[in-house]
Chain A
Amino acid sequence: MSQLEIRSVSHWFGGLQALKDVTFDTHDEILGLIGPNGAGKTTLFNVISGFIVPTSGEVRFNGKAIHRLRADQTVRLGLARTFQIVKPFASLTVEENVLVGLGMPYYPTSAALYQRYRTRSNLDQVEQILAKVHLTDYRSAQAAKLPIGLLRRLEIARALATHPKLLLLDEPAAGLVAQEAEELAALVRDLYAQGLHIILIEHNMRFAMNLCHRIVVLAQGEIIAQGNPTEIQNNEKVINAYLGQE
């Protein structure tokens, strides 16, 4: 069974159709979602992660329809995401940012009122997650003071804290220098090797082509191609709509 099934998803913003009958499945893979600006990639992420209810169509995650669920409900099912523009909880420390993710799957319960978030077991989990994304040294740093490369890692750490089965990364390499992008790619590969499935939106073609097993290309809200990176790089429609001739 596919992990994520997207079936005939369309979405309108007023008179503008952002997604047109988008259909694809994801499996055990790192899937890339590419396309020119305004293609509908982030809108699709918003639909999958519960920030937008699609005008029509259906999204299923492990067989369960999720397209009408709120974002926090999709998180509890094991679907986590990051954002194109990093959104740290700026005045919290790195550790506290991760603790927010760790604490929340217990909602909604009245226990939240007296349950402490800084417990030994939570702090142990934070330590493991920070080690995984190589942020251990910045544990006590205020998130607002981190450079962009570390903030991207923090976003991933916070998403990992929710114990996801599928991770959606929205332009994870944006703003990173080549060295940082390579380190991030290694991290994504590690996460995949540990059993996490990943969908990522990316404009950095080298990053996406080297990392992804399969790529779906969106243009003007519809899928124009899908296949492995080699097929995509040689696809005429994709070259005309997005990659261009080199």
Chain B
Amino acid sequence: MLLLQNLSNALILACTYILMAAGLTMVYGVLKVLHIAHASVYTVGAFVGVLAFTRLGNFWVALAIAMFVSGIFGVLIYRSTYFYLLNSPRTVPLIASVGMFVMFTDLLQKPFLMGAYQRAFPAGGAGLPAVKTALFSFTAKQVLILLVTVILLAIVYVILTRTKLGLSWQAASMDRDMASAVGVNLNQSIAANFFLGSALAGAAGVLVGVYNNSVFATMGDLPSYKAFIIIVLGGMGSLPGAILASLILAIVENFLVASIGYVLPRDSIAFLVLILMLMFRPNGLLGRE
């Protein structure tokens, strides 16, 4: 029973990782840029979500607004920065990305934005029921996270595998020049990719904000490297890999903490897993190159 409950908790943790890492790996797939500033989008999503929820009182509307604003924010990042660096060496957009992340984190701490204090995000389970069985249980908040993650992943899956846009992303991720040579409008395609990936990050920010009932300007710090670790573990640019790596990491973190306690800080476990993975499978779980 304890085992199943630990697995249930790990599943919820994995959901938040998945949403964050999915967007990052989608962007990496097409642009081959480690978009560290993705974590800023996550924070902005949480911030917009809490503002919208405070004013409107409806979680689902707040989530939709937060995802939309995050998507637009991501597209602006692409058009204002990466767009001009597409043909630069990979270190250039990486440095730009780190710079943007630091700048946005700093900006968000200004009093006219989020300030230095935490805001509560008391959306609870958004009206969803808790689930209790003899073997495991989910709180209403956990049900909310699970439900939103499953719905969003299903939407991403359909877009990726059934629509022309998804096919253009697959093509561009394999060879941008060739994709362009068969008519893919790379500007549009990459902007749409950023929009969806950033909307997912915004959703992750909202869900984590609700789960911890706390939103603050530096909440993106931890996900900035956790998501990076996950996409390396999963195989750069692989969405199924990111999902698998999120699950594995969440399970390892949960079970290590549950079995040996906080001998190690929980978040350092991710780095240990990363080091082991790089030693034995440097291309990641489902990596192509």
Q: Which residues of A come within 8 Å of B, CB atoms? A: 49-51, 70-72, 75-76, 80-81, 83, 87-92, 96, 99-101, 103-108, 112-118, 158-159, 161-162
Contacts and interface: CB of A to CB of B under 8 A. Distances in A.
A40 to B, nearest CB: 19
Contacts of B175: 87, 89
B184 A83 contact: no
B127 to A, nearest CB: 29
Given A72-B184, A100-B182, A51 B177 contact: yes
Interface in B157-196: 159, 162-165, 167-168, 170-171, 174-175, 177-186, 188-189, 192
Interface of B: 159, 162-165, 167-168, 170-171, 174-175, 177-186, 188-189, 192, 288
15 contacts: A72-B184, A72-B186, A75-B181, A80-B181, A83-B177, A89-B178, A91-B170, A99-B167, A100-B168, A104-B183, A104-B184, A107-B164, A107-B168, A113-B192, A159-B181
A89 B183 contact: no
A83 B178 contact: yes
Which of A49, A76, A103, A115 has the most C-beta atoms of chain B within 10 angstroms of its own C-beta? A103
A107 B188 contact: yes
Closest 7 CB pairs of A and B: A104-B183, A75-B183, A71-B180, A87-B178, A103-B164, A101-B182, A108-B188
Given A87-B178, A159-B182, 17 more contacts: A72-B186, A75-B183, A80-B181, A83-B178, A88-B178, A91-B174, A92-B170, A92-B171, A100-B184, A103-B164, A104-B184, A107-B185, A112-B164, A112-B168, A116-B162, A116-B164, A118-B162
Output the residue of B159, B163, B185 with the most chain A CB within 10 A: B185
A105 B183 contact: yes
A112 B182 contact: no
Nearest to A76: B183
A162 B183 contact: yes
A104 B164 CA distance: 7
Given A91-B288, A113-B159, A113-B192, A108 B185 contact: yes
Contacts of A50: 180
A94 to B, nearest CB: 14
A161 B164 contact: no
B183 A107 contact: yes
B78 to A, nearest CB: 15
B160 to A, nearest CB: 11
A122 to B, nearest CB: 10
Contacts of A99: 167
Given A87-B175, A92-B171, A92-B174, A106 B182 contact: no
Contacts of A107: 164, 168, 183-185, 188-189
Contacts of A75: 181-183
B159 A158 contact: no
Contacts of A51: 177, 180-181
B186 A89 contact: no
A81 B162 contact: no
A158 B167 CA distance: 14
Contacts of A88: 178
B164 A115 contact: yes
Contact of A100 (B159, B163, B167, B185): B167
A218 B182 CA distance: 27
Given A87-B175, A107-B189, A112 B165 contact: yes
Contacts of B184: 72, 100, 104, 107
A32 B264 CA distance: 68
Given A106-B164, A113-B192, A117-B162, A49 B181 contact: yes
Nearest to A116: B162
Nearest to A100: B171
A89 B174 contact: yes
B179 A100 contact: yes
Nearest to B288: A91
Contact of B163 (A83, A87, A89, A116): A116
Given A92-B171, A113-B163, A83 B181 contact: yes
Contacts of B288: 91
A91 B240 CA distance: 14
